[in-house]
Amino acid sequence: MTLQCRILRPRSDAPPCVRSPSCLPGGKGLAEAGIDIVQGSAGRAAPTQASNLSHRRWRSIALGSLVVSAAAIVGFLVAPYLSPQPPDKQVPAMQHRPAVVEGDGVRGPAAMVWIPDGEFLMGSDHELARPNERPTHRVRIAGFWMDRTHVTNAQFAEFVKATGYVTTAERKPDWETLRVQVPEGTPRPPDAQLVAGAMVFVGTESTVSLDDWSQWWRYVPGADWRHPQGPGSDIVGKEQHPVVQVSYEDAQAYARWAGKRLPTEAEWEYAARGGLEQATYAWGDEYRVNGQMMANTWDTKARPFPVVSAKAGGAAGTSRVRTFPANGYGLYDMTGNAWQWVSDWYRMDYFAQQAGHGVIDNPKGPGDSYDPEDHMTPAEAPKRVTRGGSFLCNVDYCLSYRPSARRGNDPYNPMSHIGFRLVVSSQDWNASGKSNAVASR
């Protein structure tokens, strides 16, 4: 089956995270602006029109007379930051490197590292920072344990085997979770038009203008965590890669089973910085160290973004965890590889709200969502924060592999570059010990 989708194109001044595609089987009335959504094979862009990448979530909104939503399509992002090559000169970082303390299942949860309590400057006022990262403000964090890596395909498979859990991408989309992401008055689509699937990065065959992300994303029916690029793809040989195509809801379900929780946004940024105060990257102030890449991000020196043709090197994707060096706390892939869900609601103005209140202790985030930059969804549409960037981020398009970079995403929107990792508070570990916290494998 081929879905015809219509993309709601943002205004030219719209921020990169405002995307909202429309999909429905048959595509009647959408041909003039429709997009072909491939059902199956992964990794290659269909030789036509716009797909939808909107990091907003399962929302495929079909416009015509029917504005529809078809499974995982409204998301936050992949869009462009369109920023220049990061300069070598940045804010000086702290001199010391913290000791790495890893749990062993007795004196701490296995395969998790201790993040000591401390105070740091959250956000960024750097020239590369976007408005939602400003202004900087001081935050104090209590110590906690954090997974050294993303939750992997192998770990998630263990969870599914033990519980029989069915992920968001594998379920027929629920209109009640979709309608809050679309303009008021959008009619409910027929059940037959709500098809399980997810957003997949497919790239392009040649260089394209970077002002239309829909050229390199498709909504693919049948895409899920076992088939990240759709039916015909699999995770064989990728057991130690980050699990992707998981929604916020899926991450929460795994966390409950594991006896852990998602980190707060403040905990995540504090840990990602690895003891470096206001460094531009998780490893320091230079994008490359001795000429080497420090994270799984898109290397534009090797090939232009978003080209994935065989001549350009083939498809891009996640890498095995621990491939790149750990940060100061011993955490791998805190930036790059796959975006990471955190627990907070997303407000683009949250940091501005926090500023001027002195040192803030263990912030848990705002009580609601607000994103006036996204003109394709209601400003108050529910969104959760994602952090860290992914294998798609690059110096020409998306600089989100910086510890301060943040995005809001529909909690029910899985994508092929979003995963997660978990934390355990010292109190919870001391109270329950190794009996509840599942050791990472």
Q: Of 114, 79, 65, whose CA–CA distance to 398 is shortest?
A: 79
Sign of the CA dihedral running 49, 172, 153, 415: positive
CA gyration radius, the chain: 20
The average pLDDT across 185-207 equals: 90
Per-residue pLDDT tens digits for 49-90: 323 333 333 333 332 222 223 333 433 333 333 333 333 333
Task: Give the H/E segment covering residue 248.
Answer: helix 248-258
pLDDT at 8 over 60: no
CA atoms within 13 A on the CB side of 101: 12
Domain ranges within the chain, ordered by starting residue: 3-79+168-221, 112-154+240-435
CA dihedral 8, 13, 14, 20 (to 10 degrees): 10
Q: What is the pLDDT of residues 328-368, one digit of tens each?
A: 999 999 999 999 999 999 999 999 999 989 999 999 999 99
- Token pair for residue 84? 């220049």
Q: Report helix, strand or coil for 160.
A: helix
- pLDDT tens per residue across span 243-255: 999 999 999 999 9
For residue 436, what are its two tokens?
């509840």
Residue 345, token pair as written in the block: 């609601």
Query: Confidence band (pLDDT; 50, 70, 90) for 39?
Result: very low
Residue 322: both structure tokens together: 């621990």
List pLDDT tens digits, range 96-155: 578 899 999 998 999 999 999 999 999 999 999 999 999 999 999 999 999 999 999 999
| Beta bridge partner(s), residue 35 | 5
**Residue 16 near residue 398, CB atoms below 8 Å:** yes
Say if pTM beats, i.e. exceeds, 0.85.
Answer: no
Interior angle at CA 428, CA 342 and CA 340, nearest 5? 15
How far apart CA 1 and CA 346 sit, in angstroms, is 35
Q: Which CATH number fits domain 112-154+240-435: 3.40.50.300, 3.40.50.150, 3.40.50.12780, 3.90.1580.10?
A: 3.90.1580.10
How high is the mean pLDDT of the chain? 79
The answer to whether 395 and 300 have CB atoms below 8 angstroms apart is yes
pLDDT tier at 311 (50, 70, 90 boundaries)?
A: low
pLDDT of residue 90: 35
Q: Measured between alpha carbons, how far is 430 from 438 in angstroms, rounded to an integer?
A: 14
Task: Report the DSSP beta bridge partners of residue 36.
Answer: 4
**DSSP at 132:** G
Best CA proximity match to 296, nearest among 236, 244, 258 = 244
Number of Cβ atoms within 10 Å of the Cβ of 370 = 19
Compute CA distances 420 → 117, 131, 213, whole Å: 22, 24, 23
